[in-house]
Chains A and B, each alone.
Chain A
Amino acid sequence: MTVLTWLPSFLPGISNLRGLLEGGQKWVFSATHSTDGEVVVKLIKPHTADERVQREILAVKEINSLRVPRIFEDGVLRGTPAGVDLIWLREQRIVGENVRQILQRGPLPQNEIVALCSHVLEALVDVEQARIVHRDIKPENIIRGADGSYWLIDFGIARHLDLSSLTATAALGGPGTLGYAPPEQYRNQKRDLDSRADLFALAVTLAECISGKHPYIEGARDAPMVCKRIEGAPLPIPKIPWDRERKFTDFLTAMGQRRVDCRPRDASDARTWMQEIQNAFAGRP
């Protein structure tokens, strides 16, 4: 009996359940809910690190943001045909493409870059307010909705700064995606980790969206070479023809600084900076 067969009977109010993807840690379905409308249902596979999943759910529930899908409900399914209890959640579904899919058609133009940056920063301000660091900002985790707005998804490795870390302090590496995570994250320097790690990853993502190529991974032969590039030189920022006064370039340069202290103070500071840039583009003071 497949999951699709028995799951509806465990989730009242759900209809039109369809498989979206199956990852190593979870099944993801789209569905319609009687009151919440279009939703995503995530079912966590057995033997996945329960505590990490529960913390993700806790983390996202604390975020109050127009740019992060809401979790409507979560819980534990007991007595399933799988023979084990399964953690599940139902969250807001954003219908659209992720940025990786968009990039397959080519680099993003100015208006999309500005919207992406602005909307993700709005999300990061809300995430920061909830004392959370996303830790996995990258094109795959940003969705452009049908109305052109950008959403931040997948808090699977998010860290709540007020909770103890799940990664051993002595571990050589922290969680994150190669090429997007800053040095303090992949070197597991917990004391230095805050929302500025997400700003770094956003800067890398934006640089990639502008040129269509990953600034660190393109042409690198292996992971150590990627890390060496990140730590050895400033973020390579492509020439941006629509940024004649280099205001946006300066902004990316600051966010993409290898050293934490050289980046904007926090997500709020970065968002204010971006608003100033948008005003400058619009000819407003």
Chain B
Amino acid sequence: MQLKLQFGYGMMDHSRVLIDTWKGGSVILSPRDLSPVQLERLAGQITSLQGGDVLLDPQFYLPYADHERLTSHEYWPSAYSTEGFWSGSDIRGLLKKLVALNKTLGCKTLILPGLYTDQVDDDWIARQNAFMEEARALTDNPLYITVALAADAVKSDESIDELLAASEKWDVSGVYLLCEHPNGEYLVTDPSWLSNVLDLVAGLKLKGKKVLAGYCNHQMLSLAAAGVDWIASGTWMNVRSFPPDKFRAPYDDEIKQRSTWYYCPQGFSEYKVPFLDIAKKQGMLDKLAPPAELGSAHADVLFSGIQPTSARWTEQSAFRHYLHCLWSQAKSARRESFDQTVDEQERALDAAEDLLASLQAAGVKGQLRDFTTSLDVNRAALSVLRSSRGPILRRKWANL
């Protein structure tokens, strides 16, 4: 499993630095956050780095969206009406422009548009098929179809089954999967939601599709157990969980709340820096330090002996530390067998639970980003995956 960068506000420099450090990697470009000129410029910079690669997310989840920067792109239809678009030549026009734009940007794989839906029904499936059929006639590049699901659709067993049945016939190499979190949660506390995401990923993989899960945070490291190929994540919370509302809002109404959070990878939790001061007072700061094998030096200053809040640890360092840790954790998440992968995840959850309990007892709180309430969510979802798909995943793991 590998990490791709999900481009968001202010990520140009992070993208260049991280891809360079990692000696390779991909950025999923965001028309919502980049003007046409910026898209081209950044794509050129990334592809000129060793192993650098870009993908373009057309972000056509909500065609009626009036997000100013999104609609400023040439491929965005100037007027969208359901009937006209799907029955006329507009869909082909959109795809032609996207194919051309992908070529200009140097994308080797094309992410096709896909409509956001709260229910997988015949209409939605027909529209997805239309995107795929039209695109296949226009390019021989590998195609990934966007599957953008509302929280209700993810939670619906019927929707998941319909989607999997429909995907049997999809003539694409992969799926770009976007799953809205329930109730706007950052860390999901609904085990049924996560269980269905795991099931969906496993089902798609078993049908021979590549799966790129977009807008992820570290909770989605669990997708390794379902054989996911990549997760994508970024800096701000609106690129760490899929936010359909952010594609409706004008771009002025963007990042408002800015706090700097330290990610403790072994606890799967994030802390505001003042709580690291508490950890230091309680003699527990070293428990929060990232394991050396993850290779993140971005947070070294916090553990250099001085009071963490005096260390002037910047937002830039926080983001790079988060993404570097996630990149390392993603690389080692998938093991040689299905059982080893799940066992390792469960072991990591157990270890995190012990750590978090001792930190909380000492007053070191992660507040809304504390993973304690999600530990059992991940456990339950993994348990369901083992029961429902375990035998087949066990058998097919090497070829997944």
Binding site for B on A (CB under 8 A): 191-192, 234, 250-251, 253-254, 257, 259-262, 264-265, 273, 276
Contact = CB atoms under 8 A, between A and B. Distances in A.
B164 A251 contact: no
Contacts of B394: 250
A254 B391 contact: yes
B165 interface: yes
B23 interface: no
B388 A262 contact: yes
Contacts of B387: 234
A82 to B, nearest CB: 46
Contacts of B362: none
Q: Report, nearest first, the 9 A-B pairs whose CB atoms are least far apart.
A: A250-B391, A254-B391, A261-B164, A262-B388, A253-B391, A254-B392, A261-B203, A262-B389, A234-B387
B161 interface: yes
Contacts, number: 30
Contacts of A250: 390-391, 394-395
Contacts of A264: 392
Contacts of B392: 254, 262, 264
Interface in B155-211: 161, 164-165, 203, 206
Nearest to B387: A234
Contact of A259 (B206, B388, B390): B388
A139 B390 CA distance: 28
Interface size class of B (residues with CB under 8 A): 10 to 19
Interface in B363-400: 387-392, 394-395
Contacts of B165: 191-192, 260-261
Given A234-B387, A261-B203, A262-B389, 17 more contacts: A191-B165, A192-B165, A250-B391, A250-B395, A251-B391, A253-B390, A253-B391, A257-B388, A259-B161, A259-B388, A262-B203, A262-B388, A262-B392, A264-B392, A265-B206, A273-B395, A276-B395
A251 to B, nearest CB: 7
A272 to B, nearest CB: 10
27 contacts: A191-B165, A192-B161, A192-B165, A234-B387, A250-B390, A250-B391, A250-B395, A251-B391, A253-B391, A254-B391, A254-B392, A257-B388, A259-B161, A260-B161, A260-B165, A261-B161, A261-B164, A261-B165, A261-B203, A262-B203, A262-B388, A262-B389, A262-B392, A264-B392, A265-B206, A273-B395, A276-B395
A112 B388 CA distance: 27
The prevalent SS among residues of A at the interface is helix
Name the residue in A253, A262, A264, A273 with the highest tally of chain B Cβ atoms < 10 Å from its Cβ: A262
Contacts of B164: 261
Interface of B: 161, 164-165, 203, 206, 387-392, 394-395
A269 to B, nearest CB: 9
A274 to B, nearest CB: 12
Contacts of A254: 391-392
B169 to A, nearest CB: 12
Nearest to B164: A261
A50 to B, nearest CB: 33
A259 B165 CA distance: 11
Nearest to B200: A261
A134 to B, nearest CB: 21
Nearest to A262: B388
Nearest to A191: B165
B110 to A, nearest CB: 27
Contacts of A191: 165
A250 B339 CA distance: 13
Contacts of A260: 161, 165
Contacts of A276: 395
A257 B392 CA distance: 11
A72 to B, nearest CB: 37
A265 B161 CA distance: 14
A262 B391 CA distance: 10
A250 B394 CA distance: 9
Contacts of A253: 390-391
B281 to A, nearest CB: 50
Name the residue in B203, B388, B394 with the highest tally of chain A Cβ atoms < 10 Å from its Cβ: B388
A282 to B, nearest CB: 18
B165 to A, nearest CB: 7
A259 B387 CA distance: 12
A188 to B, nearest CB: 15
Nearest to B160: A261
